[in-house]
Amino acid sequence: MTRHEPNPPSPSGPTRRAVLHGAWAAPVVLAAVAAPAAAASTPAPKPALSVYFSGSGDSGFIFVELLGADGKPLQQQFDIEGKPRGTDSWVTVFRQSTRADGTFSSTIPSGITQDYSAVRVSATVPGYPTLISQEQQLPFS
């Protein structure tokens, strides 16, 4: 009986076994290269604006917290904006500033609920897009 080699060596190129062996090794190398690229696409930290509204009828309260991209409190100006009744535009009603601990709290004057259909907070932190809070419909429910 003659022994038959399924892939005899060919002087013109690699054997099928060599090609298959190389194919098995390639995905391991690609996975190792792809992992750092995926890790590098993690979004950079951004400043955070947290706003809490509460109230009933014409009486309300606002609490604001502003943190930098590093998570530390920011002491800076921000705008309390109102949407005048009958319009879709926003206008600055008050310009306030957070304290050193990054917070601000206050009552919302009852006149605001008569002139505006909603309020929100906007803050511009240098180097970042303007931060805008959720809208609070007026009067408070």
pLDDT of residue 43: 82
pLDDT score of 8:
56
Ranges of residues in the chain whose predicted pLDDT is under 50 = 24-35
Predicted TM-score of the model (pTM): 0.69
| pLDDT score, position 2 | 54
Q: Structurally, what CATH architecture does the domain formed by 48-137 represent?
A: Sandwich (2.60)
- Tell me, what's the pLDDT at 47? 97
Identify the pLDDT of residue 27. 46
Write the pLDDT tens digit of every residue in 63-76: 999 999 999 999 99
DSSP-based three-state secondary structure for 59: strand
- Comparing CA positions, the residue from 26, 25, 66 lying closest to residue 48 is 66
Alpha carbon distance 91, 84 (integer Å): 8
